[in-house]
Amino acid sequence: MDTLECINSKRSVRAYTNEIISEETLTNLIELGTKASTGSGMEPWGFVIIRDKNEIDSLSELSKKYLLDNLEKYPYLNQYESWLKSPEYSIFNNANTLLLVYGNTESHWYIYDCSLAASNIMLAAHSMEIGTCWIGFAEHTLNTKEFKEKYNIPDKYELVCPMSMGYMKTKLSQPKRKKPVIFHK
């Protein structure tokens, strides 16, 4: 797939096959992520891969409970209340793999760098028929002290991108976007 086609057709994917993504492929995707530009050359990223389906399901349930208990803090999530209340809903869309991107807060640029790395990973994955989705719903649960301790993530790293991934079940149509606002040309 050429670069322009890749950018033009990449979607957030929420339906995956059961096929397992090999460790080699995941390592390759992470390496491609680290080719992103990085402020002052600091490369502030760190990655966590989770492939235990029971753990993924339990992190989904924890996130749903946390968000429902704290909805007043996140008014923009009110529209998703019925999803979060549904026992069938997995915030990770039943993905069998999570790839989490953390940034070292010692770099002023960590959020930008890690977002660029995440975007590289998403596009590279798309070119391999692996679908990804940024899961903002998980931003609290995967960034707690307990979670960081469990997965050896140093305190000074903050979660930037929680990503679910898996081989795509169906091919999606190109993304639809509004006409870009161009302030001057």
Ligand X SMILES: Cc1cc2nc3c(=O)[nH]c(=O)nc-3n(C[C@H](O)[C@H](O)[C@H](O)COP(=O)(O)O)c2cc1C
The CA distance from 174 to 126, in Å, is 12
Site residues (vs ligand X, CB under 6 A): 11-12, 14, 133-137, 175
Which of 73/184 has CB closer to ligand X? 73
Which of 29/67 has CB closer to ligand X? 67
What is the DSSP annotation of 3-35? HHHHHHH--B---B-SPPPPHHHHHHHHHHHTT
For residue 106, the minimal CB distance to ligand X (Å) is 23
The CA distance from 54 to 60, in Å, is 10
> What order of strands is seen across the sheet that includes strand 97-104?
45-50, 97-104, 157-167, 130-134
For residue 17, the minimal CB distance to ligand X (Å) is 18
The CA distance from 80 to 179, in Å, is 26
Which of 47/134 has CB closer to ligand X? 134
For residue 14, the minimal CB distance to ligand X (Å) is 6
- Ranked by CB distance to ligand X, the top (closest) residue is 136
Pairing assessment for the beta strands 45-50 and 97-104 based on DSSP bridges:
antiparallel
The CA distance from 165 to 94, in Å, is 9
Give me 106's structure tokens: 């010692």
For residue 104, the minimal CB distance to ligand X (Å) is 20
Which of 154/175 has CB closer to ligand X? 175
Which of 46/131 has CB closer to ligand X? 131
For residue 10, the minimal CB distance to ligand X (Å) is 7
